[in-house]
Chain A
């Protein structure tokens, strides 16, 4: 059972590194990178849930042989949606970082909250 769950460890590693970057790093860009790491970790988890052993992509063009097993289509559709959400959130956060840099002149989250 241990050998089968190795891909999930990659998910755990990505989410933990992302959380580490978010909690401990002060630079705004590094926090945004941390959130993107968590995003890709959760997407990877969603995709690995939908895999079947030696299966083919669920596409009928080019007549796959009738006995080939197909991987699950629903997690792939969910991951498509959550990737585009990741892009949207990333674009918004970077726009705010541009404004914060232009207004406070620094990317250090410690010095940004003050009354300026």
Chain B
């Protein structure tokens, strides 16, 4: 029978594929939110023992990453009228193809690695790798600043997955770190985004190319 962890992770992978195809920001935000929720649930089902503090941490993470941050961003773009396009550098179809290839690649890579801690879950490693690369992909291949932030969050999801599942050692401190990171980081990015939008009436990073040699 299939393990619940793998079920969750397959959902995450699905969200990854979706995200590649999404062209509108609200859609992307929803995808990321969903991804955050699902990814944050993984620790409950994975074998490691859960202390009370651990539960609190995990729940907090879930709330923040799954709900608060996406909501903030969503409201932000609702309030200020900014373009809803993610303004791709790489086109959607190409992106989807890339996504498929990525998942295959990730699976292949994870075959190479031997991880005793999580040998029984097939999908952990592929998903983590996929999330990481997807995040990178969004950072590189989307001009819209918000899309980039979302990509960053995805990357953090990936790292979260790695941190929480791969080893039992650092669980909480890793979660704490990521929590702080995402929270503060995204907040400040949000502020900067606000300013960018105020200054340029747009969050298209093509406008941010003046500083160069």
Binding between chains A and B: no
**What is the interface of chain A, defined by CB distance below 8 A to chain B?**
none
